[in-house]
Structure 1
Amino acid sequence: MTQAPSGTGRQGGRTDIPQAAAVLTTDRGPDRGAPGRRERPVERELHPYGPAEPADGLVHEGGTPAAPHPHPHPHPHPHPHPATNPRPDRSPRPGTGRHGTAEQSEQSEQSEQENGYAMERTRRYTIESLDTGLRLIQLFLAHDRLTVSEAAALLSVGRSTAHRVLSTLEGRGFAVRDSSGRGYAAGPELVRLGLPAGFGAAARRRLGAVLDEAARRTGETVQSAALVGDQIIVMDGRESPHPVRATLELGRTRPAHATAGGKLLLSSLTEEQVRALFPGEELPGYTSATLTTRSALLAELALVRSRGYAVSRGESVPGLHTVAVPLAGSSRRDRLALVASGPADRGEDGVLLRRAEELRRSVVLLDVT
């Protein structure tokens, strides 16, 4: 068997299966330290971003002055040449030309003032556009899908403004269009930015009773997991009492396409969102059982949607079989999966099906707590 990394081992006749390390160990292995729960900072596993690219298309103050007209003014009355005229051509000087009345002069000055106010509004609009975009991003935290009309109504802006902002977010990967072409959903960049709900003490207390019940019913290591980009992250859990078991590692991330919890949470997304998370057809493989194409993943997600649970048979860890069902949440940000993990000799297909039912029964406790 493959040697496990440090932090797992035998204690009191129990042998850990480190889920994150993708290794099975036996009692015959060397001592690797005391097993147990290990807290890891989430920041270690989340993918950092590099420096932001310089923004293009910003509105800058000032501008390039208009080039002088190459020919003299066509009006028959004498006017200074535009190149030497200190006033714009659209504002005749008082007392000159057919429109050179005092009234027209006042109107011209008023027009210049209005143009100045328009420029000031343009400078303010640049900031307002950013504010509108940020408010729209906040809407995606509570809405899985938004149409242009819905976004305009919620933001109290015009449909054209909402459409421009949504198109800008789409261009930067913060929004994606659904199959109808009329609705938008959170894009991969936005998904990566948002940490999932469930880390707080209140959420852990609320879900704790479910985890206790699930561990009792299945006899295996159980955990709650959330989707962050193309990864899942372990939020909380309980370890199995079996001598050979899966180890719980809080804050650990694993590839979503190779885990039962990840596939369950991916199945709640639209196909366009999944394609945006996995832009290439080829997917990384971790074992011989891993789904290594996006087409195979999409077909698997369709099966998960139809049956209501997901399984992984050694796809991320050789010899580790897992099953997952929905735990909580109605939107991308707060959706969680309830996962049970155990060695392959305790995870045949029929056992996984029964285990999924036991997990569902445990989730019912949320309705009474």
Structure 2
Amino acid sequence: MAERFIQSVERAADILELFLISKPELSVKEISEQLGLSKSTVHGLIKTLEHRGYLQQNPDDLKYSLGLKLFELGSFIGNQLDIVKIAQPIIKDTVEKLKETVHLVIRQQDELIYVEKLEGPHTLRIYSHVGKTAPIHCTGVGKAILAYQDEKEVDRILSSTKLESFTEFTVTDINEIKKQLDFTREHGYSMDDEEIEIGLKCIAAPIFDHAGNAIASISCASPKMRLTEDRLPVVIEGIKEAAFEISRCLGYKDVSHSKK
């Protein structure tokens, strides 16, 4: 079966790519002539791309250039690939030490995305997979990142997020969530105790970039019955050490957050 492509999307992509092989600034007329499209068609596409931030117009000569939205996307992809590449050997070592499944999650605006997952030797059927989003309010990985945002940002995220209940243990009260965030800041790790899935317990720790921003987190997911009183401190320390090592590789210098 032949692939079906949307013409308007292809034309929009052609316009963006034209700036890569032509001049940094182009007028509607120049774009129209180079792509063989009518001015009215080009004008409509350009205005849409400008509205979404992919193009910007110079008020002096009315020509267009690539917008900041493309820079944001490029930066995000670059950071994501860098973190995954840096974290992979550390995650592998952590799985070998803890014998449990380890996740790497990054923050993209108000969403959390699983970008790496390495299974432990034990069979563990859980909802997570690379590319899936995670709720920020009731997962260890979410609370590990949220704890290190400023107070206004925490309030904004919690007030604008649907605090969905996944199990009878899911915490949806904002004041209780904030208490958990205080615990994370004090101890350097967060916990999801059957909040997202019955029988599943996760220990997570934040990952900081060179500027000290919590941009990602790493977690160990395990059946609750395996995280005994003797085993739990070992897992907590292992995850904190892994998070610190990834942060260090990203240029993070201040160890006060993750080495408590």
Q: Same fold (TM over 0.5)?
A: yes
Query: Residues 217-236 of structure 1 correspond to what in structure 2 (within 5 A)?
Result: 217-236=97-116
Aligned residue for 1:266? 146
Unpaired runs of 5+ residues, structure 1, are 1-50, 55-122, 142-193
Alignment check: 8 A CA contact 2:140 2:204 kept? yes
The structure carrying a bigger helix percent of its residues is 2
Q: Is the 8 A contact 1:220 1:245 kept in 2?
A: no
Match of 1:359 in 2: 239
2:144 partner SS = helix
Which AA in structure 2 matches 1:275? D
User: For residues 363 and 299 of structure 1, do their structure 2 counterparts lie closer, same or farther at Cα, with a shift above 3 Å needed?
Assistant: closer
1:197 and 1:223, CA in 2 relative to 1: closer, same or farther beyond 3 A? farther
The one of the two structures with greater contact order (alpha-carbon pairs below 8 A, sep at least 6) is 1
Structure showing greater Rg: 1
Task: Work out the CA distance in 2 between the residues paired with 1:250 and 1:274.
Answer: 25
Pick closer, same or farther for the CA change 1:225–1:308 going to 2, 3 Å: same
Query: Within 5 Å, which residues of 2 pair with 1:245-256?
Result: 246=126, 249-256=129-136
Question: Given the alignment, which residue of 80, 83, 98 partners 1:199?
Answer: 80
Change (3 A) 1:329 1:349: farther
The residue that corresponds to 2:189 in the other structure is 309
Residue in structure 1 matched with residue 26 of structure 2 by the alignment:
none
CA contact (8 A) 1:196 1:226 kept: no
Query: What do the CA deviations read for 1:286-308 (whole angstroms, capped 9, x no partner)?
Result: 11111112222122111111111
Are the counterparts in 2 of residues 260 and 322 from structure 1 also a CA contact under 8 Å? Answer: yes
Q: Decide whether aligned partners of structure 1 residues 297 and 348 sit closer, same or farther in structure 2, where only a CA change above 3 A counts.
A: same
SS state at 1:362 partner: helix
Of residues 112, 119, 143, the one that matches 1:239 is 119
Which amino acid in the other structure matches residue 272 of structure 1? Answer: K
The equivalent residue for 2:224 is 344
1:278 to 158, 161, 176: 158
1:117-132 residue pairs with structure 2 within 5 A?
124=59
- Give me the CA root mean square deviation: 4.0
**1:7-86 correspondence to structure 2 within 5 Å:** none
> Is it true that 1:210 corresponds to 2:210 in the alignment?
no
Ranges in structure 2 where 5+ consecutive residues have no aligned partner? 1-47, 52-57, 251-260
CA-to-aligned-CA distance 1:295-351 (integer Å, 9 cap, x gap):
221221111111110000010111110001123424587722111001111124553
CA distance in 2, matches of 1:227, 1:203: 12
Q: 1:361 to 1:280 in 2, by over 3 A?
A: closer
Distance 2:136 2:161 in 1: 15
SS of 1:278's equivalent in the other structure is helix
For these two proteins, the number of residue pairs brought into alignment is: 195
Partner of 1:319: 199
Distance 1:206 1:278, change over 3 A: same
Q: Distance in 2 between matches of 1:304 and 1:334?
A: 13
How far apart are the structure 1 equivalents of 2:226 and 2:209?
30
Normalised by the length of structure 2, the TM-score is: 0.61
Using the alignment, how far apart are the partners of 2:162 and 2:91 within structure 1? 35
AA in 1 matched with 2:219: V
Matched AA of 1:269: Q
Distance verdict in 2 for CA 1:332–1:232, change over 3 Å: farther
